[in-house]
């Protein structure tokens, strides 16, 4: 069983509760489900306020709804920026891991090339010796 952790697992372990929460909120707010639900709620809000017979809690031009959107934007923007900063950190960690992997692979390939070259030289030396032996044997006859 391989117990070594890759860069992604190590990075995920370092996240605090707030970081994980911000990532979840940013992920949720960046989805079609959120847009559809929010659109439905806005239409419902406006519709109920326009057709209400006795109690309009937010009359046209929907000042309370605008205040709710402003509050949502005031909190959403920094949360999304935190998630983007963490994405940058993840990308940087992945790039560093990829770089190290490529460096290690290059060293292994170079070592293999040297070994193959050595094997080829050994083969050529054997072939030359065999040819010389054949040449010597043919002279002796």
Residue 141 has pLDDT above 80, yes or no: no
Q: Which helix (H) or strand (E) holds 105?
A: helix 63-140
Count CA atoms within 13 Å of residue 33 on its CB side: 5
pLDDT band at residue 11 under the 50/70/90 scheme: confident
Confidence (pTM):
0.60
2 pLDDT tier (thresholds 50, 70, 90): low
pLDDT confidence bin for 3, thresholds 50/70/90: low
Give the burial class of 22: count Cβ atoms within 10 A of its Cβ; 0-12 exposed, 13-18 middle, 19 or more buried: buried
pLDDT at 98 over 70: yes
pLDDT score at 21: 85
106-120 pLDDT, tens digit each: 999 999 999 999 999
Pick the range with the lowest mean pLDDT from 17-21, 32-36, 54-58, 68-72: 54-58
The ranges assigned to domains in the chain are 17-140
DSSP-assigned letters across all residues of 1-43? ------HHHHHHHH--HHHHHHHHHHHHHTSHHHHHHHHHHHH
Neighbours of 86 (CB within 10 A): 18
């Amino acid at each position: 069983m391989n117990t070594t952790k890759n860069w992604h697992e190590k990075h995920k372990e370092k996240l605090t509760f707030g970081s994980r929460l911000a990532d979840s909120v940013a992920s949720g707010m960046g989805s079609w489900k959120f847009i559809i639900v929010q659109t439905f709620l806005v239409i419902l809000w406006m519709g109920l306020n326009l057709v209400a017979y006795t109690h309009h809690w937010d009359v046209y031009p929907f000042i309370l709804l605008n205040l709710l959107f402003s509050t949502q934007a005031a909190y959403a923007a920094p949360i999304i920026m935190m998630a983007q900063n963490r994405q940058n950190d993840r990308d940087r960690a992945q790039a560093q891991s990829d770089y190290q992997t490529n460096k290690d692979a290059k060293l292994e390939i170079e070592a293999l090339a040297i070994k193959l070259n050595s094997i080829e030289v050994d083969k050529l030396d054997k072939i030359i010796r065999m040819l010389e032996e054949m040449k010597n044997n043919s002279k002796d006859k």
